[in-house]
């Protein structure tokens, strides 16, 4: 983990960009840490860290300034300035064609779009987790939130240090991930946009149903795909505060 820049915000939060091998990332830590701060890994859709930065930074700084959490994110494989994943790019083109033509999106497109991303991203997020936890100011337990729900599901299943997850229910979820969802046991909060123009509601509800955790809460809101209400930011923080402290 190599820090490449450092910025102290007026809310006291320290924001540091880093690289982990070839992977860029950002770490936010609270102004004052009497004990190692619990860590939240902030996921995001594969649109590139630069584009996602304002939303990610707003979340991370709320967590750090108001709740004393550390927060970190890394670029997804195939996104931002990282090399493209050719198979995923091809699947993305097929997805766009299907959506533009008003056709159903076939399972083979969803699998090709999501599964390679999960395979490659999850070990990278685990490596980021290792690197962050090696810092004296960051500790466990660890939460994961947002982004590609299949990555969150896989991480929750394979990474025992993930103690809670706040996921965003999409519907482009491979059938294999529905099976994997049954093996999730950590407490979950799941955001669903009820009138999401890009996701199928019933599929998202089925995915929530499939999740194996005995503590799982669905928060469904209006506002379309990108219209998650502002108050869910603090609801997410309070969920983590219940489970990471």
Judged by the rule CB under 8 A, the positions of this chain that interact with a second copy are 194, 205, 208-209, 214-222, 229, 231, 234-235, 238, 242
SS (H, E, C) the chain: CEEEEEEECCCCCEEEEEEECCEEEEEEECCCCCCCEEEEEEECCCCCHHHHHHHHHHHHHHHHHHHCCEEEEECCCCCCCCCCCHHHHHHHHHHHHHHHCCCCCCHHHHHHHHHHHHHHHHHHHHHHHHHHHCCCCEEEEEEEEECCHHHHHHHHHHCCCEEEEEEECCCCCCHHHHHHHCCCCCCEEEEEECCCCCCCHHHHHHHHHHCCCCCEEEEEECCCCCCCCCHHHHHHHHHHHHHHC
Nearest distance from residue 229's CB to a second copy, in Å? 7
For a second copy, the closer of residues 135 and 218 by Cβ is: 218
Q: Tell me whether residue 28 is exposed, middle or buried, using C-beta atoms within 10 angstroms of its C-beta: 0 to 12, 13 to 18, 19 or more.
A: buried
Distance of closest approach, residue 70 Cβ to a second copy, in angstroms: 23
Task: Phi first, then psi: give them for residue 22, nearest 5 degrees.
Answer: -95, 0
Nearest CB to a second copy, comparing residues 133 and 235: 235
In angstroms, give the least distance from the CB of 238 to a second copy: 8
Q: Which is nearer to a second copy, 93 or 222 (CB)?
A: 222
Name which of 118 and 188 has its Cβ closer to a second copy: 188
Q: In the complex, what is the shortest distance from the CB of residue 222 to a second copy, in angstroms, rounded to a whole number?
A: 6
CB of 29 to a second copy, least distance (A): 27
Q: Could you tell me the smallest distance in angstroms from the CB atom of residue 139 to a second copy?
A: 23
Q: Which is nearer to a second copy, 126 or 217 (CB)?
A: 217
Q: Going by DSSP bridges, is the β-strand pair 23-29/14-20 parallel, antiparallel, or unpaired?
A: antiparallel
Q: At its nearest, how many Å lie between a second copy and the CB of residue 217?
A: 5
Give the residue with the Cβ less far from a second copy, 111 or 200. 200
Nearer to a second copy, 7 or 185 (CB): 185
Q: How many residues does the chain have?
A: 245
């Amino acid at each position: 983990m190599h820090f490449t820049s450092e910025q102290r915000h007026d809310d006291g939060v320290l924001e540091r960009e880093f690289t982990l091998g070839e992977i860029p990332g950002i770490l936010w830590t609270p102004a004052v840490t009497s004990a190692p701060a619990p860590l939240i890994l902030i996921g995001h859709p594969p649109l590139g860290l630069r584009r996602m930065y304002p939303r990610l930074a707003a979340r991370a700084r709320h967590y750090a300034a108001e709740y004393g959490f550390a927060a970190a994110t890394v670029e997804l494989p195939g996104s931002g300035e990282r090399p493209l994943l050719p198979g995923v790019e091809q699947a993305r083109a097929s997805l766009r064609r299907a959506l533009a033509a008003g056709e159903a999106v076939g399972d083979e497109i969803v699998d090709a779009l999501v599964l390679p991303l999960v395979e490659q991203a999850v070990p990278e997020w685990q490596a980021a987790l290792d690197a962050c936890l090696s810092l004296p100011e960051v500790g466990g337990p660890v939460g994961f939130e947002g982004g590609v729900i299949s990555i969150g599901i896989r991480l929750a299943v394979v990474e025992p240090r993930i103690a809670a997850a706040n996921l965003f229910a999409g519907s482009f979820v491979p059938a294999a991930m529905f099976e994997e969802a049954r093996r999730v046991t950590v407490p979950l909060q799941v955001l669903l946009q009820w009138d999401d123009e890009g996701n199928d509601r019933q599929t998202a509800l089925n995915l929530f149903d499939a999740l194996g955790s005995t503590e799982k809460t669905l928060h469904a809101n209006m506002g379309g795909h990108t219209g998650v209400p502002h108050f869910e930011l603090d609801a997410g923080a309070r969920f983590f505060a219940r489970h990471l402290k």
